[in-house]
Amino acid sequence: MYIPELTTQVSSSHTVSLNTAIHENHTTKKYRIALTKLRISSHSLHIETGRYINTPRALRTCTNCNMNQPETEYHFILTCPIFKDIRKLYLKPYYCRWPNINKFISPMNDKNKKNIINLSKYVYKAFNERLYNYLSSMCSHIY
Ligand SMILES: [Zn+2]
């Protein structure tokens, strides 16, 4: 009884608006997943992976840059120089100048849809660049 009702609702809905909604969800899904992974600590930043093997927190440093700082979510979003070009594209300059913990918390709690999408895009693209850099360094060890 539930499925026929659902079928009726779907077939009676406006086809164009349904397709548009699916398209929007499909294109933004990868960005939302990236931001969600960052928020729930389901990522591969060293602050998290080091915890799995009992590496002291101070030694979970970022290997992407030479700042010798722990690779935390804060470092990943606001300070790691490797991602400065991506940061300029997607984050407001206010957050990038003189970063601090309040400037880290603000975009994570932003309710503005456009700002959240931009933050999601930043996280997605920065994770991809980080993975690309890691794989490139692994390949350089092989050849
Ligand atoms: Zn770094």
Domain boundaries, position 65: 29-142
Residue 16 domain-assigned (yes or no): no
- Calculate how far, in angstroms, residue 106's C-alpha sits from the geometric centre of ligand 1: 21
- Calculate how far, in angstroms, residue 42's C-alpha sits from the geometric centre of ligand 1: 19
- Calculate how far, in angstroms, residue 33's C-alpha sits from the geometric centre of ligand 1: 22
Please report, rounded to a whole number, the percentage of residues in the chain having pLDDT higher than 70.
80
Residue 81 domain-assigned (yes or no): yes
Q: Which residues does 62 contact at the CB level (< 8 Å), separation at least 6?
A: 46, 69, 70, 71, 75, 76, 80
Residue 86 domain-assigned (yes or no): yes
- Calculate how far, in angstroms, residue 109's C-alpha sits from the geometric centre of ligand 1: 23
**What are the distances in angstroms from CA 105 to CA 51, 77, 95?**
22, 11, 10
- Calculate how far, in angstroms, residue 80's C-alpha sits from the geometric centre of ligand 1: 4
- Calculate how far, in angstroms, residue 66's C-alpha sits from the geometric centre of ligand 1: 7
Overall pTM > 0.85: no
Residue 38 has pLDDT above 90, yes or no: yes
Residue 89 domain-assigned (yes or no): yes
- Calculate how far, in angstroms, residue 84's C-alpha sits from the geometric centre of ligand 1: 10
Give 81-131 pLDDT, tens digit per residue.
999 999 999 998 888 888 888 888 887 888 888 888 999 999 999 999 999
Q: Which pLDDT does position 143 carry in this prediction?
A: 63
Q: How many distinct structural domains can be found in the chain?
A: 1
Find out whether 99 and 116 touch, Cβ atoms under 8 Å.
no
